[in-house]
Chains A and B, each alone.
Chain A
């Protein structure tokens, strides 16, 4: 039997009609790839947009949050300084508030009002009055300044209060002013300032 005969006889064995399993899998993969490709692409773009949006959102919140924390940080620092036992630190707190912070924050203002009545350092008190004067419309501040004038004993602070209330044209300051003018214990220089303020308020 020659080779030709043998091939012809066993033709069906040579000719593998069945597609190999391997090919099947390959085909299927290819098919899947072909069919699902466009779907995957659109999903990717969608994801990209979402992620960019998310990033932006994160950036914004971080910036906002940081802003917010730096704001509260600044506020807390000022509040801590205002309560420090060193007069230098308290002064720093007051000056930082009036130079940089500048917002009408209730907590800080009540802390400042506390200094106005109780601090034992003249410089702190005067700086506090200057800081409070930035909010001339605040009724609480006005009332506290009038109260302080009635009780203050330090001549320099008295002069500062008198000038401030005259600047605010505060009519209700007349009573403490009169008391200061009539008090024999008052320093002459305070008296002359009070008399001047009295005349200015009356105008």
Chain B
């Protein structure tokens, strides 16, 4: 019985793997600019192609006017009408949940839904260059300008969205990565109310090129990224792991009130400047300087010769330095 379950499980995995769709772009020199708040898992590799894989179900049948709807979304309409309604893109149905005893008429001011006959187009593709990416389940625009490859959100609407979009991207180690979750235009203060919220952190792993990450709320997770790395965030948390590698070039992390959590092997050759509410560690550092200013801790720590600089400023948050 167990065996059968196992085989069924294998089949499911296999069919999932087949479902995963890839887009390959030959690009190995220059900068990859990601201007999107969507959830990305990025990995470095030694090839010369950028490979995008969507890990979420394809959107099929819902067209929201003026808004991008994707996957499962739950909206609570605020204001007078106490309606809560749910859009399930995968199953192509819309459910309404009237909260209290009230009328069941629902006013959809901004939305218009079309139900397409999904069976009829089976096996066919929507034509047009823009639709190629959508067919692959890729819902952001891809643009190449000079030596820059740019991934951008379609920012038509101004809305906070809960999205289950998830992308796996493999990028050549020879690239430079510039990743901004607020779009790449100048961060114009409060105006830009549009972003995707994900509880899962976006991640970058096994990358040897230069990295610049800028985000306001998204959490970031880096594994075996050798540097140089610069990350800044207002409220996001930054987790850095060195599993098979050690830091080789400058790390600079600023967060206003998130935490910075770094795990590294004790044979790393680093000098750490940590400014935080508190600094915690189980590593046997050589403490060069320490001071406390306005209840904020400042530590200068060294391992080995201190060849690689790590500048960690967690603002009101804490810094954690863990032994691997």
Are B254 and A153 within 8 A (Cβ)?
no
Are B190 and A123 within 8 A (Cβ)?
no
Residues of A near B235 (CB, < 8 A) are 189
Query: Would you call B191 an interface residue if the criterion is a C-beta within 8 Å of the partner chain's C-beta atoms?
Result: yes
Query: Would you call A91 an interface residue if the criterion is a C-beta within 8 Å of the partner chain's C-beta atoms?
Result: yes
Number of interface residues of A (CB under 8 A): 25
Contacts A127-B252, A155-B216; A122 near B232 (Cβ below 8 A): yes
Which of A23-31, A63-71, A179-187 is the contact stretch? A179-187
Are B311 and A88 within 8 A (Cβ)?
no
Task: State the main secondary structure of chain A at its contact with B.
Answer: helix
Query: Would you call B249 an interface residue if the criterion is a C-beta within 8 Å of the partner chain's C-beta atoms?
Result: yes
Q: Which residue of A lies closest to B232 (CB)?
A: A122
Q: Which of A88, A155, A183, A184 contacts B230 (CB 8 A)?
A: A88
Residues of A near B309 (CB, < 8 A) are 92, 95, 99
- B229-276: which residues lie under 8 A (CB-CB) from chain A? 229-235, 249-250, 252, 254, 256-257
Interface string of B305-317 (1 = CB under 8 A from A): 0000101010000
Query: Would you call A115 an interface residue if the criterion is a C-beta within 8 Å of the partner chain's C-beta atoms?
Result: no
For residue B56, give the distance in angstroms from its CB to the closest CB of chain A: 30
Contacts A91-B250, A184-B190; A156 near B230 (Cβ below 8 A): no
Instruction: Compute how far the CA of A155 lies from the CA of B216 in the bound complex, rounded to whole angstroms.
Output: 9
Q: Which of B187, B231, B250 contacts A95 (CB 8 A)?
A: B250
Are B254 and A88 within 8 A (Cβ)?
no
Are A88 and B227 within 8 A (Cβ)?
yes
Are B252 and A156 within 8 A (Cβ)?
no
Are A187 and B189 within 8 A (Cβ)?
yes
Query: Would you call A87 an interface residue if the criterion is a C-beta within 8 Å of the partner chain's C-beta atoms?
Result: yes
Query: Would you call B186 an interface residue if the criterion is a C-beta within 8 Å of the partner chain's C-beta atoms?
Result: yes
Query: Would you call B176 an interface residue if the criterion is a C-beta within 8 Å of the partner chain's C-beta atoms?
Result: yes
Instruction: Compute how far the CA of A80 lies from the CA of B176 in the bound complex, rounded to whole angstroms.
Output: 20
Q: Which of B216, B230, B233 contacts A91 (CB 8 A)?
A: B230
- A79-120: which residues lie under 8 A (CB-CB) from chain B? 86-89, 91-92, 95, 99
Interface string of A144-174 (1 = CB under 8 A from B): 0000000001111001000000000000000
Are A185 and B191 within 8 A (Cβ)?
yes
Query: Would you call B71 an interface residue if the criterion is a C-beta within 8 Å of the partner chain's C-beta atoms?
Result: no
Query: Would you call A74 an interface residue if the criterion is a C-beta within 8 Å of the partner chain's C-beta atoms?
Result: no
Are A156 and B210 within 8 A (Cβ)?
no
Contacts A92-B250, A123-B252, A189-B256; A156 near B188 (Cβ below 8 A): no
Are A123 and B231 within 8 A (Cβ)?
yes
For residue B225, give the distance in angstroms from its CB to the closest CB of chain A: 12
Interface string of B208-235 (1 = CB under 8 A from A): 0010101010000000000111111111
Are B210 and A186 within 8 A (Cβ)?
no
Q: Which residue of A lies closest to B253 (CB)?
A: A123
Residues of A near B189 (CB, < 8 A) are 153, 155, 183, 185-187
Contacts A123-B252, A189-B234; A86 near B187 (Cβ below 8 A): no
Instruction: Compute how far the CA of A126 lies from the CA of B216 in the bound complex, rounded to whole angstroms.
Output: 16
Instruction: Compute how far the CA of A92 lies from the CA of B249 in the bound complex, rounded to whole angstroms.
Output: 10
Are A121 and B212 within 8 A (Cβ)?
yes
Residues of B near A124 (CB, < 8 A) are 230
Instruction: Compute how far the CA of A127 lies from the CA of B187 in the bound complex, rounded to whole angstroms.
Output: 19
Contacts A92-B228, A95-B311; A156 near B254 (Cβ below 8 A): yes
Instruction: Compute how far the CA of A184 lies from the CA of B250 in the bound complex, rounded to whole angstroms.
Output: 37
Residues of B near A86 (CB, < 8 A) are 176, 210, 228
Are B234 and A155 within 8 A (Cβ)?
yes
Residues of B near A159 (CB, < 8 A) are 256
Are A156 and B232 within 8 A (Cβ)?
yes
Of A123, A127, A155, most buried by chain B (CB within 10 Å of CB) is: A123
Residues of B near A95 (CB, < 8 A) are 250, 252, 309, 311
Instruction: Compute how far the CA of A124 lies from the CA of B250 in the bound complex, rounded to whole angstroms.
Output: 12
Q: Which of A122, A127, A154, A156 contacts B311 (CB 8 A)?
A: A127
Q: Which of B176, B187, B229, B232 contacts A153 (CB 8 A)?
A: B187
Instruction: Compute how far the CA of A124 lies from the CA of B313 in the bound complex, rounded to whole angstroms.
Output: 13
Residues of A near B229 (CB, < 8 A) are 88
Q: Which of A91, A99, A185 contacts B252 (CB 8 A)?
A: A91
Interface string of B155-178 (1 = CB under 8 A from A): 000000000000000000000100
Shortest Cβ-Cβ A-B pairs, 7 listed: A88-B228, A185-B189, A123-B230, A122-B232, A123-B252, A185-B190, A88-B210
A122-B232, A123-B231, A189-B235 known; 7 new pairs, CB 8 Å cut-off, are A87-B230, A88-B227, A88-B250, A122-B214, A126-B232, A153-B186, A156-B234
A-B contacts, 11 of them at CB < 8 A, read: A91-B230, A95-B311, A121-B212, A123-B212, A126-B232, A126-B254, A153-B189, A155-B216, A156-B254, A185-B189, A187-B189
